[in-house]
């Protein structure tokens, strides 16, 4: 019998409260996850973990999410095209479009809506596939 592999998310998020909420929602929806609390850790984990998708905060303590995204997109083909979903409180006019233009596959504004976030993530991943 073939086992269905659970999809793994890499969550790059420095706020522990946000991380706990996102992780709980993902886990309840059947996803596995790995957490990186800095951009540098996230970049390193993308290469070694090869996640099915990345949830990326933009305001990180070491390097901005935009730089993390740029580094991911410059990696080898095994990870360069991983779906990256910005999940951020960066909600100024034009931020969403700027992040999508820079290579994010989706954008979810914080504070997240726990009732909608999994369907938003699934829609973005399916659109990319």
**Verdict on whether the full-model pTM lies above 0.85:** yes
Asked if the structure places residue 22 within a domain, the reply is yes
Please give the chain's pLDDT, 129 residues, in tens.
555 679 999 999 999 999 999 999 999 999 999 999 999 999 999 999 999 999 999 999 999 999 999 999 999 999 999 999 999 886 677 888 999 999 999 999 999 999 999 999 999 999 987
DSSP 90-104: --STTHHHHHHHHT-
State how far the Cα of 104 lies from the Cα of 6, in Å rounded to an integer. Answer: 23
Residue 15 CB neighbour total at 10 angstroms: 16
Q: pLDDT value at position 55?
A: 98
User: Which among 105, 108, 115, 109 has a CA at the least distance from the CA of 52?
Assistant: 105
Asked if the structure places residue 1 within a domain, the reply is no
Note the Cα 119 to chain centre separation in Å: 14
Asked if the structure places residue 2 within a domain, the reply is no
State how far the Cα of 124 lies from the Cα of 52, in Å rounded to an integer. Answer: 12
Domain total of the chain:
1
């Amino acid at each position: 019998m073939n086992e269905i592999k659970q999809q793994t998310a890499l969550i790059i998020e420095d706020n522990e409260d946000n991380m706990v909420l996102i992780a709980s929602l993902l886990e309840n929806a059947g996803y596995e996850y790995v957490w990186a609390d800095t951009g540098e850790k996230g970049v390193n984990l993308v290469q070694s973990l090869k996640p099915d998708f990345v949830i990326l905060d933009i305001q990180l303590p070491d390097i901005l999410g935009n730089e993390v995204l740029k580094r991911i997109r410059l990696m080898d083909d095994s990870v360069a095209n991983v779906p990256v979903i910005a999940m951020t409180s960066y909600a100024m006019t034009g931020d969403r479009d700027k992040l999508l233009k820079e290579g994010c596959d989706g954008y979810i504004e914080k504070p997240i809506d726990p009732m909608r976030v999994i369907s938003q993530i699934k829609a973005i991943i399916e659109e990319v596939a």
